Amino acid sequence: MFNLIKMDVYRLLHAVSTWVMMGIMVLIAVVCVGATHADLNAMAEDPVYTEQATSTAEDEVVYGIVMDTDPEWIHGDVPASQMLGLLLNSGILMIFCAVFVSLFVGAEHHSGYLKNIAGQLPYRGQLALSKFIAIAVEVLLMFAIYAVFCIASGYIFFGEQFTLGSVSGLFKMLGTQYLLHLGFSALIMFLCMFTGSTAFGMGAGILGCSGLTSLLYSGINWVVQKIHSGVNFDFGRYMLDTNVYAISGASASSDVFRAVLVACIFAVLAVGFSALVMQRRDIK
């Protein structure tokens, strides 16, 4: 098992897509912080724009990648924990998890790696576990590069206005978001293994990051409330994407605990079902 994990991590670190991912993470971090800086400047110059942006963030359900900006940053400090939290709430890293995890998992189907290694294993389900560990390394790299370059860009764009803020809040938020994104990546891994299609896993992942799933959750809430009138039930609270959109450096401990629990449950189930698929499938 250890040798299998080493092979998967080796393949990950030597894959072209991994180096492309690292470069894109650097670029995206700089662009996101630069866009936040430009948005703050626009708010400072146009109070009407500030009012419209605030009302949109509070009153409307938006779809796609939307990065919010706190108007209080115009004349106050810009804490790293709050800025990174809002950037991650946009779901932008979820999209890259969907893309790069799909590419990594799908590559072995096209290269013949599975066919060569599967016959040497007494239990082929180990392939799913080793893949998940390699994916955990990949997501960790994404988070580390994105966080470091966001903070570095923050000091460049905002100067003394940019602060680390609450270090404990920063690490709590990053750790929780990492687990949520890892759970999401495990789900993408399962979809790729179950369908044998890189495109399906990637497409489903990107669709899941679009915010359209909120319509599904609203429908489930409506059905539950019709069956049990008076029950205040929110299905989205127990889904990965809605927790990614909600967790920030200021989140309550109960919300963080729920998000961690949701992430762990999704990861365990996704890896378990992936192992079952690999064990029962004929590798060709």
DSSP assignments along 38-96, one per residue: HHHHHHHH-HHHHHHHHHHHHH----S------GGGGTS-EEHHHHHHHHHHTTHHHHH
Other beta carbons within 10 angstroms of residue 87's beta carbon come to: 23
Cα gap 25→16, rounded to integer Å: 14
Specify the amino acid at residue 22.
M
Cα gap 83→85, rounded to integer Å: 5
Per-residue confidence of the chain (284 residues) as pLDDT tens digits? Answer: 677 778 878 888 888 888 898 999 999 999 999 988 888 888 787 766 666 555 555 445 555 667 777 778 887 888 888 889 889 988 889 999 999 999 888 776 665 556 566 556 667 778 888 899 999 999 999 999 999 999 999 999 988 888 887 788 889 999 999 999 999 999 999 999 888 888 898 998 888 887 778 788 888 888 888 787 767 778 888 899 899 988 988 888 899 999 999 999 999 999 999 989 887 766 55
Q: What ranges in the chain are assigned the alpha helix state H?
A: 2-13, 16-45, 47-59, 80-89, 92-111, 113-118, 126-158, 167-195, 198-208, 213-227, 240-246, 253-280
Tokens 């992942």 belong to residue = 205
Q: Which two tokens stand for residue 62?
A: 């938006």
Cα gap 97→206, rounded to integer Å: 9
